[in-house]
Amino acid sequence: MTYPTQPTSSHFVNGAYLEDAAGAALPVIYPATGQVIATLHEATPAVIEAALIAARDAQAEWAAMSGTERGRILRRAADIMRDRNRELSILETYDTGKPLQETLVADATSGADALEYFGGLAASLTGEHIPLGGGNWAYTVRQPLGVCVGIGAWNYPTQIACWKGAPALACGNAMVFKPSETTPLCALKVAEILHEAGLPAGLFNVVQGAGDVGRALVTDARVDKVSLTGSVPTGRKVYAAAAAGMKHVTMELGGKSPLVIFDDADLDDAVGGAILGNFYSSGQVCSNGTRVFVQKGIKQAFLTRLAERLADAKIGDPMDEQVSFGPMVSEGQLGIVERYIAKGIEEGARLVTGGKRLDGQGYYIEPTVFADVTDEMVIAREEIFGPVMCVLDFEAEAEVLTRANDTEYGLAAGVFTRDLTRAHRMVAGFQAGTCFINSYNDAPVEVPFGGVKASGVGRENSKAAIEHYSQLKSVFVRMDRVEAPF
């Protein structure tokens, strides 16, 4: 099988594709068939060195350009991404296994939104004037950090590359990006498009590899900032390594988010929210509301309607645009999900639907719903990162809020109710970086995205991301005489 827009080499460094066959082989597997569709190579120390040197060399000149000029290049890249959305989406589907129905609307398009948004913001990144007593004053200058390292997860490869690359570049930084070793293809296309749009060589480099390549980047003294999207255990390691070098960090990590459905909720909206928050991208979404707390009065109606709507899921060839549910990203991730399902059954949760691997090729597992789940069960405490919904019962608002917050994570939380006063009360109490009222998993670029507690540090998207890719220099200006004690 061939895919339509095959990158010509493993890495993209200093404005061009780069290969170093001495690196360990990195097979790219199409999750729908299990077939190897390409073999890339992990970055050798020489490739990592070339990327860091290119980034260092290019950054100062880029920072010296006006924000308008930098922004124009990002906005041009956004236009190219939109023009090529279909081919990029097909490649993303080969990389991740996600249905084309999804990748056409949620990956390159989301990446293009970030490029357009931060491109538009680039010219308005300024400091401030601070009047002081005695006619003295100060001003601040917003400056880039320098070389930023981006490290990606495998669920949204194009989006993650753009959500990190666009604000970094808008602020005048250079970036070295390491995609997940499971999905290495699409970030190369992002680099190609950025350079086609006029980005000077060296400013957005892509190097392939697993944790050891990531570690080499994070610990390099030339790197000023690390932005990771990944699991909490990896986040702890990367955060610690970055701290040793006193580097800036953004940590976009995992979650076990609560979704609370009150008796008065619109049933179909609530079921729709629970489906979006558990089964989109076969459940491989960090902010998913996988602990679905359903008030006792609506429980049966909720489960019945959910089962009806799940029967409409079309599972199959992700390239078929009618298909709405694809395979897991890898054999390994499928195994993790199967073990959690077995654990849920062993712990006494009631399997309502799904639970089985599908016969045939590819890493398919049915959308799975457990009911009668209790707070202490492993399936209700640990991030599964697959299509497994846990339905938990509750009776009272105060009780459910305490239980919703009883987790080390704090990425997202949602509430479905027609009582908006109650909705805002719940949201005020949720320990989460992103909350949803009568909705779930919206992630527009204009809105800050990130976690609290173990789910992360910093924010992506929106004006808030600028704070995490720039720093302020304060300049004091004395207008009166200098008074010294002697």
Ligand X SMILES: NC(=O)c1ccc[n+]([C@@H]2O[C@H](COP(=O)([O-])OP(=O)(O)OC[C@H]3O[C@@H](n4cnc5c(N)ncnc54)[C@H](O)[C@@H]3O)[C@@H](O)[C@H]2O)c1
Binding site for ligand X (CB under 6 A): 151-155, 178, 180-181, 210-211, 214-215, 218, 229-231, 234, 237-238, 252-255, 286, 383, 385, 411, 451, 456
Shortest Å distance, C-beta 109 to ligand X: 17
Both tokens of residue 280? 């989109």
Q: Which residues contact 47 (CB under 8 A, 6 or more apart)?
A: 11, 13, 18, 20, 23, 207
252 assigned to active site: yes
Nearer to ligand X, 42 or 366 (CB): 42
User: Is 462:444 a contact under the CB 8 Å cutoff?
Assistant: no
Shortest Å distance, C-beta 244 to ligand X: 12
| Phi, psi values for residue 113, rounded to 5° | -60, -45
Distance separating alpha carbons of residues 313 and 281, to the nearest angstrom:
12
- How far is C-alpha 248 from the chain's CA centre? 18
Nearer to ligand X, 84 or 215 (CB): 215
Instruction: Report angle CA 390, 253, 443 to the nearest 5 degrees.
Output: 80
Shortest Å distance, C-beta 242 to ligand X: 9
C-alpha closest to that of 404 among 257, 254, 253: 257
What's the longest Cα–Cα distance across the chain?
87
Q: Which residues contact 486 (CB under 8 A, 6 or more apart)?
A: none
Nearer to ligand X, 18 or 329 (CB): 329
Nearer to ligand X, 59 or 441 (CB): 441
Closest residue to bound ligand X by CB: 214
Distance separating alpha carbons of residues 431 and 405, to the nearest angstrom:
6
Shortest Å distance, C-beta 182 to ligand X: 6
Strands 412-416 and 434-437, by their bridges, are: parallel
User: Is 388:368 a contact under the CB 8 Å cutoff?
Assistant: yes
Nearer to ligand X, 230 or 316 (CB): 230
- Three-state DSSP state, 96: helix
Shortest Å distance, C-beta 454 to ligand X: 11
Nearer to ligand X, 173 or 229 (CB): 229
Shortest Å distance, C-beta 213 to ligand X: 7
- Among residues 181, 252, 366, 397, the one annotated as catalytic is 252
Residues carrying an active site annotation: 252
